[in-house]
Amino acid sequence: MRAFIAVELSHEWQTLISQIQQKIKTQTPIRWVKPSQAHLTLKFLGHITDQQASLIEDRLKGIGSKTPCLMLETESIGAFPSIKTPQIIWLGLKENPALIKLAGEIETALQSLGFTAENRDFKSHITLGRLKNNDRALISSLSELKVEILCQKVEHISLFKSTLTPQGPVHEILKRISFAFNLK
């Protein structure tokens, strides 16, 4: 099965994602992520077996048992590789040392199971859509778009199964791993 580890997004964040997608003006076809399927990826795993899923869950429980809840906050719209040549449009999050630490701990824990470490720094973002071509209207639209500031408390992470379909990927939660400590 194809799998990844991510933070689920609240209904409020899904609504914001839908609103942002509707505001982006372009003549170029964009493959939008369904807001209900949007998430904050912490680690893409690729294809894993049921046995690996069980081992991953054990490692994540160990991390969750010592991880406090954390807060996410929206910040900006951006694109990879750049806003001038967008291929992936994303919603950026305010830098959060606790989130970066969590992503690093997941990365380290999974290396011991044979997963390859990312060769780039963790960039907290939520993918909104993908495209092959761009136009001036799109670049202008992205540059001028302002994002409503939203916060979300994160109390757990999830191991997802991702099934690719002609209509786009379908994500299913396999396991939720709760954090041990609440924010005060």
Catalytic residue list: 39, 125
Return the residue matching tokens 């973002």: 125
Q: Do residues 32 and 20 lie in contact, with contact meaning Cβ atoms separated by under 8 Å?
A: no
CB neighbour list of residue 56: distance below 8 Å, 6 or more residues apart: 3, 5, 45, 48, 110, 113, 159
Q: Per DSSP, which regions of 51-166 are E strands?
A: 70-81, 86-93, 125-130, 151-154, 156-163
